[in-house]
Structure 1
Amino acid sequence: MRQVERAIFDLRRGLPVLVRAAQGDVLVHPLEGCDDEAMAALQALAGTQPALALTSHRLGRLGIDVEAPAARLPLDAADTAEEVIAWASDEDSRLPPDTRPDTAGEGCTAALDLMRIGLLIPAAVIADIHDAHRAQIEALVAEGSVLAVLAEQIQAYAETRSHFLRRTSEAEIPLSHAEQATFVMFREADGMREHIAIVIGDPEQWNEAVPVRLHSACLTGDLFGSLRCDCGEQLRESVRTIDERGGGVLLYLAQEGRGIGLANKLRAYTLQDRGLDTVDADQVLGFGNDERTYGVALEMLQQLDIKRIELLTNNPEKIAAMDQGGVEVVNRRGVYGKLTQQNRRYLDAKAKRAGHWLEEVLGENEEEHVTPFQRPLAR
């Protein structure tokens, strides 16, 4: 695990790392911080022409359909870093004619997993190691100039990191909508993300089915009152509702921008300003419809000894995640913000493209704010 964390740190600093894979080692450079000099250095070090690793979501936006989660596009020696970055993240970019993707090996796929874990754009410039350059690479790894990480370590880390959640501290913090509240801090093993459980009321007095809200952090909406979303209003309404229902828990999860991170969320906002909806904007950057997972939430509920809940949500995926993780959802209660001119398109996309239950706020059954429990099919 420590090697993966160190690799993420290096990539976020704009440094290349070596991913060791059964099909062959690859040098990986993140898209962020990539320039012509970095691409030339990568090629000189590896001894082969670099390629561009992209997710199937981004390739689809470029008009290339692949069955695998990722593929690699061969690069020409004349390709500039500016062009490569555009191919990976610009909606208006077009690939050179007759560009054909190559199969993504284990190293390529692991490289993109590292980008996601590190909250970077899920794209990378990668280069296979030529046999004539292997001794030089190994010498750099041995002296610590280049970090090497196993592809299987990356996969294992991505699948199990929520199981290493550590409860670090807590304090009573009275809130405007819930005077009896305790903040409990949880930290992930890599130290990159911290999550908060806001425990409202006296747990000894809670209902058998504990009211719970899984709230993904939204700096722009929760803190600054952005009009582009309804997150801040949902947050405060959830705290008030939990308090009125005798207490429960709001899990404040570090999953900004549906799991893509603040930097990528701002990039997506810029794309939305050009006419894309929230789902299409995320796909342009290489992300799926929703990059969130809820293993962290399940671990937090387990550590808080909560097994049966009334879930405050409009999102069927959250119910499915709780069911699959062994937490019984006995009822669902909708939670809404106000519909505004600025957030209408955002809410429309969530309802029509992500299946969120937003009929009440979007104009159907406006007077009814508690919807019947509906259990989605588990994936």
Structure 2
Amino acid sequence: MRVLFVHQNFPGQYRHIAPALAARPSAEVVALGINPAPTLPGVRHLRYAVAGRSTPGIHPPAASFETATLRGEAAARAALALKAEGFCPDVICGHSGWGETLFLKDVWPRARLLTFAEFFYSATGADTGFDPEFPGAEGDAFRTRARNAAQLLAFEASDRLVSPTAWQASRIPAVFRDRLTVIHDGIDTDLLRPDPRVRITLGRDRLSLGVGDEVVTFVNRNLEPYRGYHSFMRALPEILRRRPKARAVIVGGSDTSYGAKPPAGRTWRDIFLDEVRADLDLSRVHFVGNIPYRDYVDLLRVSMVHVYLTYPFVLSWSMLEAMALGACIVGSATPPVEEVIRHRRNGLLVDFFSRRAIAEAVVSVLADPAAVAPLRAAARETALSYDLERVCLPAHLRLIEAVAAGGGA
């Protein structure tokens, strides 16, 4: 079986799938992407370059589609070069979000296309318009609808679609759902397991923390409103006031991954820190930036309570990883989180916008950690259903095999 993976930031969601396929004696695996990628055993990685850029002054709703077609054309030209070498994939696996797969069926009409459908945008019911503090600009609804144009073409060309969660799948237009399968990317629950012996040292502060210390963790790729950073920071003064031994360890960068950028020259990190600075004991608030994965895992092992807040958007791996590590989750009562967390069964759910509710939930855990031990154990059990090696990776491989055979159930 010949398989082509297409992802501008390869490996992305295919980090485990691609080498697992490549390990099979009969498989030939090639990947296309824009950026440099780590070497994966058995995977031939090729880069393509996008020629040109969006037209200056283009009508705003059309901008994302032009960018997608530029990227799709560049990927197709790289595909034509592969075809000239004699490479003809049985299955193409690609992400729908960037336009890369738009023209690949024109290069290889007989190939089967399995599309990763991560998120379909809409002006209601999801991230857009969710947060009244950031209402957006006039015309955002038009741009949001237009943003889906390339995805709709990608879905139409696809033989099968796969989404990581049921809620994300529910956002896909109904006309395509008969070809849609839900399989999570998977987390390594063998690596991600509790360890009561672990201690961490916060570098600059040289502060040693271990299991049993009142450690509150908050983790984002970047600290921004989409992932509830503003709500967390507004709750933090009350948490630290009521728990004088508690410490907050905050992981994340100062860029913007999603949504609106902050005012020029500012970062969301500093904007919301400045808002509460006068009410915080900053000696107990530790911003550690982006840290190595091993350090991140050990941090979550010592976390007494892990706060995960998100708009109705893509569910972060970090929440499931924290659950696998036995953390007690205080999560936002938003659809992606509610799919996984059951209130008072395997975590606690709170109003995304309520600093009082967030603080009350966190303080309740810190005040009586033994009382939430069953929630921690249940969180770990829930995470096992997302296990990479035993659940999710085998399901992805079966789906690819079925697609190659002309099916996909």
TM over 0.5: no
Q: TM-score, normalised by structure 2?
A: 0.34
Q: TM-score, normalised by structure 1?
A: 0.36
